[in-house]
Amino acid sequence: MKNTFGNVVTVTLFGESHGPAIGAVVDGLPGGIRIDEKYIAARLTQRRPSGRISTARREPDSYEILSGVFNGYTTGTPLCIIIRNEDIRSKDYEDISRLARPSHADLTAMYRYGGFEDYRGGGHFSGRITAALVAAGAMVMKALEDKGIYIGTHIKSCGGITDREIADETDLRVLAETDFPVLDAEAASEMERIILDAAKDGDSVGGVLETVVLGMPEGVGEPWFDTAEGMLAHAIFSVPAVKGVEFGAGFGITRMRGSQANDCLRTDGKKIYTETNNSGGINGGITNGMPIVFRTAIKPTPSIFKEQRTVDIKKGENALLRLKGRHDPAVVHRAGVVINAVTALTLADLLAARYGADWLKTGENK
């Protein structure tokens, strides 16, 4: 429903880039999920612009939990977490405020909200809002890890450079510690060079993210509409800059024959597994116990410093736009942690829908 997602474990996002605060309400969690504050802070650090290739905006991103946590555990009642906006320089945006930035939401926001939208810095459409999503997702992601479910994302390709495959849980741990999530060191430095080259040109690049979930229980998802793929895709398309989502072999499967595409089944007497995983861990909308694998297309950051043709949406006239201010030449390396967050929230929702919210509990009843 609108700015809320989920059936059982729900997340509601609020906030504008240049308003007092951004935040999220997570509802439907059971009492008894341990809250690991360092883990949340680490995820926020990963999302935060840093290093050579990110925007100069510096937000400490210190969050505050307003409700729903008591003595270090979730209470089971709605959890509100907020992050104050501090480093706000609205002036940067003022002179261009009514020149719609191409491939941004400036124009569509005006269509949708009739001119009442907070247009400063993209308002509610800003990538800034994803900090709240990451904070909310981190709490749930930690609970899933405590249950043996691990989520990780790497840059599969960027500027023609390809990373190696995610092999196992160790790789996921490595990705959880880095702010440029690429496993192959050489590929990583190549990609960074490509991003910096674009930055020098006042331009930007995109890339493909690949997410792997290990340890996901089988039997989760619904046959129609609330399929595991449909729920994940629904959430993922909220992440700014996403233009495509594919599961398992994805678009590549359209070039296979059925005999290549089908995942043959085997059992070792205890567990049933598939020989290949072209299905990406999901059949008929329901998890099959194999790793969930999907890829996400991240477009080049639309904020570039080259001159662009656009329209002054206040005056209704053609105009030229040359952006100033701080902008990333790429967000693909920062988007992974956001994808992880929405994946965690979606899987927690699906698990709670299947097994009841108490399944997510990590502490003992008192």
Q: Which is nearer to a second copy, 173 or 314 (CB)?
A: 314
Question: Closest approach of Cβ 103 to a second copy, in Å?
Answer: 4
In contact, 147 and 220? CB cutoff 8 Å: no
Does residue 32 touch a second copy according to CB under 8 A?
Answer: yes
Binding mask 124-163 for a second copy (x = CB under 8 A): xx---x---------------------------xx-x---
**In this structure, what token pair is assigned to residue 55?**
């925007």
Does residue 265 touch a second copy according to CB under 8 A?
Answer: yes
Q: Which is nearer to a second copy, 46 or 288 (CB)?
A: 288
Residues 42-81 that bind a second copy (CB under 8 A): 64-68, 70, 73-80
Question: Closest approach of Cβ 117 to a second copy, in Å?
Answer: 5
Starting at the edge strand that comes first in sequence, how are the strands of the sheet with 63-65 ordered?
Answer: 4-5, 10-15, 21-27, 79-84, 63-65
| ∠ Cα 309 159 58 (to 5°) | 70
Closest to 137 in 3D by CA, of 199, 89, 203, 79: 79
**In this structure, what token pair is assigned to residue 23?**
């935040």
Question: Closest approach of Cβ 129 to a second copy, in Å?
Answer: 7
Question: Closest approach of Cβ 289 to a second copy, in Å?
Answer: 8
Does residue 20 touch a second copy according to CB under 8 A?
Answer: yes
Closest to 30 in 3D by CA, of 365, 347, 362, 358: 358
> Binding-site residue total for a second copy (CB under 8 A)?
157
Report how far residue 247's alpha carbon sits from residue 30's, in angstroms, rounded to the nearest whole number: 30
User: Which window, 136-144, 163-171, 180-188, 301-309, contacts a second copy (CB under 8 A)?
Assistant: 301-309
Instruction: Classify residue 223 as exposed, middle or buried by CB count within 10 Å of its CB (0-12, 13-18, 19+).
Output: exposed
Question: Closest approach of Cβ 263 to a second copy, in Å?
Answer: 5
> CB-based contacts of 292: which residues, under 8 Å, 6+ apart?
211, 212, 213, 216, 228, 232, 247, 280, 281, 282, 347
Does residue 188 touch a second copy according to CB under 8 A?
Answer: no
Does residue 322 touch a second copy according to CB under 8 A?
Answer: no
Three-state SS across 12-50? EEEECCCCCEEEEEEECCCCCCECCHHHHHHHHHHHCCC
- Residue found by looking up tokens 């040109």 in the block: 201
Q: Which is nearer to a second copy, 84 or 174 (CB)?
A: 84
Does residue 365 touch a second copy according to CB under 8 A?
Answer: yes
In contact, 324 and 331? CB cutoff 8 Å: no
Q: Which is nearer to a second copy, 74 or 343 (CB)?
A: 74
Q: Which is nearer to a second copy, 170 or 259 (CB)?
A: 259
Q: Are strands 272-274 and 242-247 parallel, antiparallel or unpaired?
A: unpaired
Residues 97-126 that bind a second copy (CB under 8 A): 100, 102-105, 107-109, 111-118, 123-125
Q: Which is nearer to a second copy, 211 or 279 (CB)?
A: 279
Binding mask 213-252 for a second copy (x = CB under 8 A): -----xxxxxxxxxx-xxx-xxxxxx-x-xxxxxxxxxx-
Binding mask 190-219 for a second copy (x = CB under 8 A): --------x--x-xxxxxx---------xx
